[in-house]
A = this chain, B = another copy of it.
Amino acid sequence: MDLNRFLSIARGDEPADLLLRNGQIVNVFTGEIVAGDVAIADDTLVGVGPTYEAEKEIDLGGRYVCPGLIDAHVHVESSMVAPAQFARAVVPRGTTTVVTDPHEIANVAGSDGVRYMLIASEGLPLTVLVNLPSSVPATDMATAGAELDAVDLKALADLPRIAGLAEFMNVPGAVLGLPGALEKLRAFRDRVIDGHAPGTSGKWLQAYVGAGPGSDHECTTVDEMLEKLRLGMYVFIREATGAKNLRTLVPAVTPHNARRCGFATDDRHPSDLLDEGHIDYLIRLAVEEGLNPVAAIRMATLNVAEWFRLRDRGALAPGRRADVVVFSDLKDFRAEMVFSGGRLVARDGDLVGDWPEPSVDDADVRDAVRGSVRVDWEAIDLSVPAEGDQMRVIGIVPDQIVTQSLVMEPTVVGGEAVSDPERDLLKLAVIERHRATGNVGIGFVQGFGLQHGAIAGSVGHDAHNLIVAGCDDTSMWTAARAVADLQGGLVVVNGEKVLATVPLPIGGLMSDRPLEKVRQQMDAAVDAAKDLGASLHDPFMTLGFLALEVIPSLKLTDRGLVDVDAFEIVPLWVE
């Protein structure tokens, strides 16, 4: 806001716009709770503590008031909705800032994907800061839609709302000093560089920290967390849909080390966002685990702001952004009023006011994220000539993204290896869908339990090619085509009949519908798959990670089967 107006109000010469009276202020600087008022003008806090004259007053009746919550690391794409819909879900929970890593959309649409995330998050009741994805593509063993090298990233670095460089996953590249990795680290040496070093310790961790990354959200044990904190890393305790670390790690937070601890959600699916919540849920869990509520709120606000060098938020203090949450129960944090930039944006769990979806006027960006499924169907052949007696088969491990690497005899019909539902053996295909190269990788998978039909999707980490598993080729063709017809999405088919769809037209990753609608569609699709015999809790989540060639043991990309432990492409047939 205008500094002269700020000063005039702050010193008491003219009234504020809004006074939140009679609150218990959670002071994240000192760890205290102090009774007082909060005065706001325009988008800014003008007075924290004293009573001011104001155009409008809200009596808090002794309720607590704290800064808006900050998510240190999230992939908005994992919510399967556009940023505006994501905001609708998380703002009423008390989240007013997220640092998102558009790793998924960048794998589809490169720099334009990053720009999409910026444009589509403009003017929301949520501040969306974008951390530049450091690892697109994840490897050269799959065909992603784009590649972002140091030069590409540098070209984006000075756009508004760019936080820095996101989770630097290439640990060997950093530690061994490989050129591509060092170029990126050097390009961002004066910026925030988030780390991503699951299990890295000892001398490799010393090297990794010195190379630049200064945070980590991948800790899974207390020892790992303490080792990283001792080297000065910020540790963001994660509670994602697929990776739940909070209950393990929170007991290691002490008054002495807490200042470098924060919270991150990483990936939360629609149902978890709706049923459990967002950062508010992490606060509740942490308090349930015995953490002091004020410490938990500091972790969700100031600590993360300090890491990201966000001096305009993360605390209630004059001159900072008026991102404010009002709540009643320290032991059961539930946002009752949420203010973003001085505006009441949510009340009792619902968004207040009209927040039109930002329109994406940049034609390049729009074209890059829409119509992103491009397949040369003429070049695709799903048949597998039976050329051996033993073949590699991906063995699903329920509810995990690691797989087993199995060796099985094929079921052969007419000289071809085919799906055999009786043996729970399905054909799996990954069809390159970004550049219509005609690449297709084919393998077999055990563990879906599907008896008829096929399931398919355009969410296939990290390259996000079209992935389809089915009981027969007709169903697989139908499913693949259906995903393409939707321009991205998840489908369940049987023969030539499409049974359920979850359209994800934005990059093949995100819906353009509200979160609740997507959740209904997801539930219907999962039910349809289960009707066909699918036995997994969420067959689409499992499907989506079968292509992730950096997670052991056997995966499938459009280039073929990947032996992740050997880090190389391997043939279907065992010699």
Contact = CB atoms under 8 A, between A and B. Distances in A.
Interface string A200-214: 001110110111100
Contact of A256 (B30, B306, B319): B30
Contact of A7 (B3, B29, B48, B175): B175
Interface in A274-329: 294, 306, 309, 315, 317-320
A7 B210 contact: yes
Interface string A234-274: 00000000000000000000111101100000000000000
Interface string A9-46: 01110000000000000010111101000000000111
Nearest to A229: B30
A49 interface: yes
A260 to B, nearest CB: 6
A21 to B, nearest CB: 16
Name the residue in A4, A186, A256 with the highest tally of chain B Cβ atoms < 10 Å from its Cβ.
A256
Contact of A30 (B11, B27, B49, B226): B226
Given A29-B260, A32-B230, A211 B12 contact: no
A194 to B, nearest CB: 15
A6 interface: yes
A203 B256 contact: no
A463 B462 CA distance: 65
A203 B10 contact: yes
Contacts of A397: none
Interface residues of A, number: 57
B10 A319 contact: no
A31 B229 CA distance: 10
Nearest to A6: B210
A222 B315 CA distance: 22
A7 B46 contact: no
A interface, over-half SS: mixed
A50 interface: yes
A232 interface: yes
Contact of A46 (B11, B46, B185, B206): B206
A207 B48 CA distance: 11
B31 A256 contact: yes
A268 B237 CA distance: 45
A182 interface: yes
Contacts of A174: 7
Nearest to A51: B203
Nearest to A314: B232
Contacts of A185: 3
Contacts of A32: 230, 256-257
Nearest to A211: B7
A176 B256 contact: no
A260 B317 CA distance: 14
A462 B131 CA distance: 47
A433 to B, nearest CB: 38
B319 A211 contact: yes
A177 interface: yes
Contacts of A45: 210
A254 B32 CA distance: 11
Given A209-B317, A209-B318, A232 B29 contact: yes
Contacts of A342: none
B3 A49 contact: no
A52 B207 CA distance: 13
Contacts of A8: 177
A461 B367 CA distance: 67
B203 A50 contact: yes
Nearest to A30: B257
A48 to B, nearest CB: 7
27 contacts: A4-B182, A6-B207, A7-B176, A7-B177, A10-B206, A11-B175, A11-B176, A30-B226, A30-B230, A32-B257, A34-B230, A47-B203, A48-B206, A48-B230, A49-B206, A49-B231, A50-B202, A50-B203, A52-B203, A206-B318, A209-B317, A209-B319, A210-B317, A232-B317, A232-B320, A255-B255, A259-B259
Kindly list the 4 A-B residue pairs having the minimum CB-CB distance in the complex, ordered from nearest: A31-B256, A210-B319, A10-B207, A210-B318
Given A11-B207, A47-B206, A210-B317, 12 more contacts: A3-B182, A6-B211, A7-B176, A7-B210, A30-B256, A46-B210, A47-B203, A48-B231, A209-B317, A209-B319, A210-B319, A255-B255
